[in-house]
Amino acid sequence: MAHYLDNAATTPVRQEAAQAALEAMTEGWGNPSARYDLGTRAAERLKEWRAEVALGFGCLPEEVFFTSCGTESDNWAIQAAVELNKRKGKHIVTTAIEHSAVLEPCRALERQGYEVTYLQPGRDGTISPEAVAAALREDTVLVSMMLVNNELGTILPVAEAARAIRAAGCPALLHCDAVQGFLKVPFTPKELGVDFLSISGHKIHAPKGIGAMYVRKGLNIQPMIRGGGQESGLRSGTEPTSQIAALAAAVKAGRETLEADLRHMADLKAYAVERLTVSVPGLRVLTEGSAPHILPITLPGYKSEVVVRFLSDLGIYVSSGSACHKGKPSHVFAALNLPKKERDGVLRVSFSYDTTREDVDALAQGLEQAGRQLFTALS
Applying CB under 6 A, the span of 109-117, 176-184, 241-249, 253-261 interacting with ligand PLP comes to 176-184
d(CA 8, CA 19): 23
d(CA 148, CA 155): 5
Contact pattern for ligand PLP over residues 93 through 112, marking x by CB under 6 A? ------x-x-----------
* 70 near ligand PLP (CB under 6 A): yes
Applying CB under 6 A, the span of 65-73, 156-164, 263-271, 307-315 interacting with ligand PLP comes to 65-73
Considering the complex, state which of residue 78 and residue 283 has its C-beta at the smaller distance from ligand PLP: 78
> 3-state DSSP call for residue 119?
strand
Considering the complex, state which of residue 64 and residue 101 has its C-beta at the smaller distance from ligand PLP: 101
* 69 near ligand PLP (CB under 6 A): yes
Is 324 an annotated catalytic residue?
yes
Contact pattern for ligand PLP over residues 224 through 263, marking x by CB under 6 A? ----------------------------------------
d(CA 97, CA 186): 21
Query: What Rg, from alpha-carbon coordinates, does the chain have?
Result: 21
Instruction: Name the minimum Å distance from CB 146 to ligand PLP.
Output: 5
* 200 near ligand PLP (CB under 6 A): yes
* 146 near ligand PLP (CB under 6 A): yes
The secondary structure of 162-217 as a DSSP string is HHHHHHHT---EEEEE-TTTTTTS---HHHHT-SEEEEEGGGTTSPSS-EEEEE-T
Q: Which of residues 296-335 bind ligand PLP (CB under 6 A)?
A: 324
> 3-state DSSP call for residue 350?
strand
What is the number of other CB atoms lying within 10 angstroms of the CB of residue 174?
26
Which element (helix H / strand E) includes 144? Answer: strand 140-144
Which stretches of the chain bind ligand PLP, using CB under 6 A? Answer: 69-71, 74, 99, 101, 146, 150, 177, 179-180, 200, 202, 211, 324
